[in-house]
Structure 1
Amino acid sequence: MNYEQYKEMRGALLKEAQAFLDAGNVAEAKAKREEIEKLDTNFEAAARENANLAALQKTGIVKQPKSAAPTGVLTPAGETGEAEGSTDEAQAKLYRTAFAKTMMRQGLSADETTCFNAVNDKFKMQTQTAAEHGVLIPNTMREQIWMQVAETHPILQDVLKTFVPGSLTIPQDTDEMKDGEWTDEATEAVGDDVGFAKLELSGCELVKAVTVSWKMRKMSIDAFLAYVTTKIAEKMGNALAKAILNGKGKPGEADTFKAQPMGILTALAAEATTPQVVTYEADKLDYKTITSARAKIKSAYSSGCAIYAKSADVWNVLANIVDGIKRPIFVPDPTGQCVGRLFGIPVKEEDGLPVGTFLIGNVSAGYAMNVNEDMTMYKEEHVKARTADYMGYAIIDGGVLTTKAFAAIKLAAAPGA
């Protein structure tokens, strides 16, 4: 189906739906709307696959390597825990098994040892924190960790993530230029200076240790990896989400906290007169407060905005707000893409936020996060306790690109607080 056919079918369905609605037949109108949504989804998927196929046709086939690599060796090993330039799934599976056996303190075969060393030797030469006992997490396992992190914390799914080794500098536009002006031939054009600041993303170390008994290491490799993945994802995800929201940034000489990403709420609170923050009294969050906060989002960032709130605040506060004629403004979303919508904006449950605080913003456009060293795993044995510690480790930094993409709604401080 081409675009013209799609457009014609969609137009016909829209007319039918409107006709049913005008006749008061809501059930039939709803059915037609669902047909339109299904048509849109199918056409979008077909268009995406068509684009992917066109891209593959341009690239051509992969050339055969000049010589085959020895059994068990990745060609060449990169930072992914799998072979770069190789589609041999057996090699990736070999490293995954070797990684799990190393973590479970089981013996490795000759092929597994060669594969394991090939990946980690090169990884340690390329990373900032080359340590003898750190091993690279397999790519598939890392992807599972990031996926679980995003499922638990939607703000981490929305944030712009880059994976650039070392420090990363991102320019920030600090001045708003004036619009063009109408003029004549005799009048000289007046120019504006464009000012830029720099967001420096360096290295903040994030760790989380999981203790496993020796008895638990008797489980299967798949069960062991699933257990470690879930625990590391849960705890590192919690720390990352809280940092994106409330991280303190880099410590000064008098500070005692450790380096961490700069949080959105921290950046908004640090601005003079806090122009992007709206406050409300306890139990008095109303329609006008929400609209006042929404008005603070610059129109360029409107598309892609979401409202983030703690789960309890979503259902105890937002879901109960009504307009001037007592109609609820919160609309539950049956599609599962979010829990509901306010003024058409998706509402997402984000437990990294403090109780009573709501964030409206375009996270993908207003915040940047760089993973300059992806997750590695460390192991420490405790013989007397018959346990082993497995520590996830990564170097991550983040910061606000522009506060104009965000607005916070916070409880007003109590008198004398």
Structure 2
Amino acid sequence: MTPEEIRALTIEGVEQRIAAIRTEMESESADIDALTSEVDALEARRTQLHDMAQRRAQLRNRVAAGTEGTVTRSFPSDSTGTPEQSYNRNSPEYRTAWLKNMAVRDGVHLLGEMTKQERAAYTMTTANTAAPVPTEIMNRIVDLVQSSTAIYSDATKSGMTSGFAIPRIKSIKQGDAKETAEGVANDDEQDTWDQLSLDGVEIKKHLVITRKMTWQSIAAFETWIAEHLARRIGNAKDKRCITQLDSTTYGIDTDNVLTDQAYDDAAIRGIMAKVKEEGVRCVYANSNTVWNGLFGIQDANKRPIFLPDQTGDPKIAGYIYGAAVKIDENVADNTAYVGVPSSLLANNFEELYISNQQEAKTFNTVVGGYSLFDAGLENPKAFVKVTFKTTGE
């Protein structure tokens, strides 16, 4: 905005423009220097308007009802007193006075200042104002709903919007490269193929915000809504990844699904040996499995095989034989997925989409998030699913 346009703004206009800048500044093409200068000018205009409002309020108090320093706050009976004091609460003066008294922001009367008659007609009490002193809300939201996306976060992500299919060669029954005598043909190829084809599932999450909550909301609220929806939908994607790992069609080979395993060194080494894929290995389990099961495993010399992370990485709890142990609360108790996460393919057919609308009957605002997503394991032997015996069994 130009300096002239900023000087013409009201308090409402200043706040609206600052709110718009919060969105603009996130764009990669945003001119940060220009936006910084504009915010400086807007803050100066806001300070100027606040000062003007305070001076106007002081002057209004001095001249109100012919007195200095007081404003009428009492409400005499409807049938007594001077004509200026005899308005009842059903009068037009009282109704407009109530509206004007409520429509004040930063000292500025958005609907204009009350007339002498309106000031005489209006009385602020808890009967007509449910909250004379509005509750202050800290510019912060505490999210107690945990989001766990370790498996999805490590997966190999793609964004093919039209479809998702990858041919896979499962085995070479005949025709592998080998030595032959001079002039002798190799065996005819007999390769086994299939196709990893994903259709996508719809993932949705919505929030319902009441009219009162919208009125009392804070500056960070809109940003938090988007982040909250993204986390919850990300959590659903993580659960979908786990479901697909368990799938007989798109998931772990049945020979790599182990049950009734002990929390001991031999079992862990056997699990690691069944991962048939090159790449960095990871172990995914929930907090109970990590700290009450894996953490206590020792080798034959009574040395722990679980080494807690010392780097401060919040995503890694520790390491077992070089494999990072990551906590994912979507994994069941006494269960772990061990494998090469890059082999898990996660396709976002449509990225997170957020929309909102207001309900006509309740005036609630419904904000919804949507994503079309699916996942599948490229190499069925790249992961092992293991279920451990609980203590005492």
For the aligned pair, the TM-score class normalised by the smaller chain equals 0.5 to 0.7
Q: For 2:227, what is the secondary structure of its paired residue? A: helix
Q: For 2:181, what is the secondary structure of its paired residue? A: coil
Residue of structure 2 in register with 1:312 after alignment? 288
CA, structure 1 residues 336+156, in 2 after alignment: closer, same or farther (shift >3 Å)? farther
Percent same amino acid among aligned pairs?
28
Residue of structure 1 in register with 2:321 after alignment? 343
Query: Is the CA contact 2:252–2:383 (under 8 Å) kept in the aligned structure 1?
Result: no
**1:356 is aligned to 2:334:** yes
Number of residue pairs aligned between Structure 1 and Structure 2: 253
- Give 1:376 deviation, angstroms: 1.4
CA distance in structure 1 between the partners assigned to 2:178 and 2:300 by the alignment: 42
Q: What is the CA deviation profile of residues 380-406 of structure 1, one whole-angstrom value per residue up to 9, with x for unaligned ones?
A: 423554422211011112212221100
**1:389 is aligned to 2:371:** no
Query: Is the CA contact 2:205–2:368 (under 8 Å) kept in the aligned structure 1?
Result: yes
Q: What is the CA deviation profile of residues 236-286 of structure 1, one whole-angstrom value per residue up to 9, with x for unaligned ones?
A: 12211111002xxxxxxxxxxxxxxxx1023389878x21012226xx421
Query: Is the CA contact 1:166–1:203 (under 8 Å) kept in the aligned structure 2?
Result: no
Matches within 5 A, 1:3-402: 88-89=29-30, 152-176=148-172, 180-218=177-215, 223-246=220-243, 263-267=244-248, 274-280=254-260, 284-298=262-276, 300-301=277-278, 303-337=279-313, 338-365=316-343, 367-402=344-379
CA distance in structure 2 between the partners assigned to 1:267 and 1:336 by the alignment: 37
CA distance in structure 2 between the partners assigned to 1:359 and 1:292 by the alignment: 14
CA distance in structure 2 between the partners assigned to 1:209 and 1:168 by the alignment: 27
CA distance in structure 2 between the partners assigned to 1:269 and 1:410 by the alignment: 20
Q: For 1:266, what is the secondary structure of its paired residue? A: coil
Query: Is the CA contact 1:360–1:406 (under 8 Å) kept in the aligned structure 2?
Result: yes
Q: TM-score, normalised by structure 1?
A: 0.54
Residue of structure 1 in register with 2:135 after alignment? none
CA distance in structure 2 between the partners assigned to 1:224 and 1:270 by the alignment: 39
CA distance in structure 2 between the partners assigned to 1:90 and 1:307 by the alignment: 44
CA, structure 1 residues 194+150, in 2 after alignment: closer, same or farther (shift >3 Å)? farther
CA distance in structure 1 between the partners assigned to 2:265 and 2:217 by the alignment: 54
Query: Is the CA contact 2:286–2:327 (under 8 Å) kept in the aligned structure 1?
Result: yes
Query: Is the CA contact 1:369–1:397 (under 8 Å) kept in the aligned structure 2?
Result: yes
CA distance in structure 1 between the partners assigned to 2:373 and 2:379 by the alignment: 19
Q: For 1:217, what is the secondary structure of its paired residue? A: helix
CA distance in structure 2 between the partners assigned to 1:357 and 1:223 by the alignment: 38
Query: Is the CA contact 1:170–1:198 (under 8 Å) kept in the aligned structure 2?
Result: yes
- Give 1:223 deviation, angstroms: 0.8
CA distance in structure 2 between the partners assigned to 1:165 and 1:269 by the alignment: 19
CA distance in structure 1 between the partners assigned to 2:219 and 2:191 by the alignment: 55
- Give 1:221 deviation, angstroms: 7.9
- Give 1:166 deviation, angstroms: 2.1
CA distance in structure 2 between the partners assigned to 1:157 and 1:380 by the alignment: 31
Query: Is the CA contact 1:150–1:156 (under 8 Å) kept in the aligned structure 2?
Result: no
CA, structure 1 residues 370+339, in 2 after alignment: closer, same or farther (shift >3 Å)? same
Q: For 1:275, what is the secondary structure of its paired residue? A: helix
Residue of structure 2 in register with 1:139 after alignment? none
Where structure 2 has 5 or more consecutive residues not aligned to the other structure, the ranges are 1-22, 36-144
CA, structure 1 residues 269+364, in 2 after alignment: closer, same or farther (shift >3 Å)? closer
CA distance in structure 1 between the partners assigned to 2:290 and 2:358 by the alignment: 44
Q: For 1:89, what is the secondary structure of its paired residue? A: coil
CA, structure 1 residues 268+376, in 2 after alignment: closer, same or farther (shift >3 Å)? closer
CA, structure 1 residues 276+241, in 2 after alignment: closer, same or farther (shift >3 Å)? same
CA, structure 1 residues 150+362, in 2 after alignment: closer, same or farther (shift >3 Å)? farther
CA distance in structure 2 between the partners assigned to 1:222 and 1:172 by the alignment: 50
Query: Is the CA contact 2:147–2:231 (under 8 Å) kept in the aligned structure 1?
Result: no
- Give 1:296 deviation, angstroms: 0.6
CA distance in structure 2 between the partners assigned to 1:244 and 1:87 by the alignment: 31
Residue of structure 1 in register with 2:44 after alignment? none
Residue of structure 2 in register with 1:130 after alignment? none
CA distance in structure 2 between the partners assigned to 1:336 and 1:193 by the alignment: 50
Q: What is the CA deviation profile of residues 356-391 of structure 1, one whole-angstrom value per residue up to 9, with x for unaligned ones?
A: 1101011212x2121111221232423554422211
Amino acid at match of 1:392: G
Amino acid at match of 1:88: S
Q: TM-score, normalised by structure 2?
A: 0.57
Supply the RMSD in Å over aligned alpha carbons.
3.3
- Give 1:171 deviation, angstroms: 1.5
CA distance in structure 1 between the partners assigned to 2:294 and 2:28 by the alignment: 49
Q: For 1:194, what is the secondary structure of its paired residue? A: strand
CA, structure 1 residues 235+411, in 2 after alignment: closer, same or farther (shift >3 Å)? same
CA, structure 1 residues 150+296, in 2 after alignment: closer, same or farther (shift >3 Å)? farther
Where structure 1 has 5 or more consecutive residues not aligned to the other structure, the ranges are 1-80, 95-148, 247-262
Whichever of the two has the greater Rg, that structure is 2
Amino acid at match of 1:312: N
